[in-house]
A and B are shown apart, each in its own frame.
Chain A
């Protein structure tokens, strides 16, 4: 009774394997789209946060504190269920006819992660001596152009290692999308468990896949960091 019969064929062949693969597909889509969007949004928020125009600065500040300090799960529920009360009915009906589960999960992941990324980028920018900005401005660059050509390219190089952490978190946090019915990897692992009672195999397989995904993201970012951004450090 106590001994557990392992049956790895459950997760390596047949329809349960297909479920896990389709789950992985959604996890990859969520992660890839989330990484790109949250990086762009985080960059924007970081720039706003350092703006000399105080309303923009304050907006960015509130945004950061709000989205950094509330649980991601609550944010997912907010975008999925809470948005219903705020939007006009016509918009709701249109959203419900689409794949709104995926969109709500992606919005939540993007916004949540962008707050952390913005702070990482800001700390990178602050580590660039302020004389560089002064030099750029006195050479005739506008604030935006100084940021674009002088400050950000250096700051992003410094920021890459902490960014890797945020991207890894995003990939793993994407599993929370299962709570609103997005059939990503963790959801499918749970499905396999409830159909086959082979929970150990299903979750081991999912764990390995997340591990491989994380290692791949780290390796890609390291490559980019060493080869492209900092070839001299190699």
Chain B
């Protein structure tokens, strides 16, 4: 046994993740040592400070193209871009999470384990102080996502997957209102998520057997010159894909999405819809483009079928929904299908257009869920569709903002929804995947219907007795909404800067 060779570590390149993980640990200490009254302020400051610092660290790295820490982490164009996107979208989600003025104590409960409806629970319901551990949990999740999109070997990827998933499972269970639904959602997400992780891990094992290494470059070389059975390769690829498709909410691994999106506290739903998508597709892009490039002809038809299925399932089931959060959940499933169309272009265009779509969709979906948090009655958020009837008369400004977001989801020009769909469809045709675009267009037609139905409800229906009011948002939610809507508009009208950014970034290192 010779001496152990320590890998060289570029701390600068890892800095964004180190900052977030460090800040999250500090956040836990803050929970212990700070008096309850000032805890929220300290935590919010810490969380935003950490995200801002990490963002600066990402910006500094924008020209770095290297593999560090023994091949475990790759800092390249897509990593830097997606990490930046995650931090920005995460900051906007955090604004929704940090909102405390809409509801006393915010949308999170401090002791979720108290039996629902018990004396203690009633006492807690009237309590001013909400949970503040949501901040370190969110930062942990974000840190995990940053690592997930940068992971260059399969084990690091698995660890990152767990690091960002576990806090999300917890966060899902912390809703102040409709606690049982929230806890059921968390349990469902946790159980199914664990299965998905297990699949992923088993896939890693098979690929290790096939390639004799866990680095993506090892897999790439082994695919080019296979030494062992192809069964290991295809089995491993399939199992890993299942794990990733689950996180990205692609059919038939999407069934958790509507329940979890509905049950989770809405700011967490927004976080999952925006950031988890970025992380999951970031990893999917890296795995497919870097490791399995050599067998693209084998997985393209299979994943293509999954994309078509996802778009169809999302679009058709969105039509039948009666709950706003579930509708948005199915819409996000369909959008995952469009993203996969972009991924399957398997060219540079596909990479850049998918990254563009992720950012554009992230902003829109954050604004959409942000508005959902505002439409409330005495029992909390009024998410049933029928309750939204005539809202355009009562609060034209918010109805107009929501309408704009819906038009973006429907892909109407002058919104980011159009430019991003255009980008992925264009990339797919260039990549020879015209049939996916045909299905994409057909499902877009189907999807227009549920969105339009909501627009009709908002504007053309008379307000009823039970039409809820739109709460006046606090500074945090207002800021999140303005950012979301403004980005949706800006990326629809002047998408050129972001497109150029994604194009410059669209090169993986191997």
Q: Do A and B bind each other?
A: no
Interface residues of chain A, those whose CB is within 8 Å of chain B, are none
